[in-house]
Amino acid sequence: MSRPLISQFSRCDKWKNPWQAIDAYRLVKDQIPSVQLALVGAIEALDDTRSPEIVAELRNYAEGDPDIHLGVAESWDDLAQFGMNF
């Protein structure tokens, strides 16, 4: 990896506050322009049916920033396809 990376691995729900991760990334980006953000998570939580809506909100909140990467899958097992084993 040739560029700095901030990452958050969590379920896609409001309690994990991925918006705050984007806000923190933007603060860092002001000082380190080459930084990237990876938000990686699953929408498998049965107790939170808003997960797909939250992912859509995050895409909107990212405002098309090419250095914000959303890696979202239906379950943590599905993330293995990206080489991420938990």
Q: For the residues 29-42, what does the mean pLDDT come to?
A: 93
CA atoms within 13 A on the CB side of 18: 30
Q: Vertex 17, ends 46 and 80: CA angle to 5°? A: 55
3-state secondary structure of 25: helix
Q: Residue 51: count other Cβ atoms within 10 Å of its Cβ.
A: 20
Residue 27: per-residue pLDDT: 98
Using the predicted structure, report yes or no on whether residue 49 has a pLDDT greater than 80. Answer: no
pTM of the predicted structure, to 2 decimals: 0.81
Per-residue pLDDT tens for 50-75?
Answer: 778 888 999 999 999 999 999 887 76
Per-residue pLDDT tens for 2-21?
Answer: 899 999 998 888 888 999 99
Answer with the residue of higher pLDDT: 82 or 41.
41
Q: For the residues 22-44, what does the mean pLDDT come to?
A: 93
- Structure-block tokens of residue 55: 């992912």
| CB contact at 8 A, 55 and 12 | yes
Domain parsing of the chain, residue ranges? 5-76
d(Cα 11, Cα 82) in Å, to the nearest integer?
Answer: 16
Using the predicted structure, report yes or no on whether residue 86 has a pLDDT greater than 50. Answer: no
Tell which residue, 53, 71, 67, has the closest CA to residue 25: 67
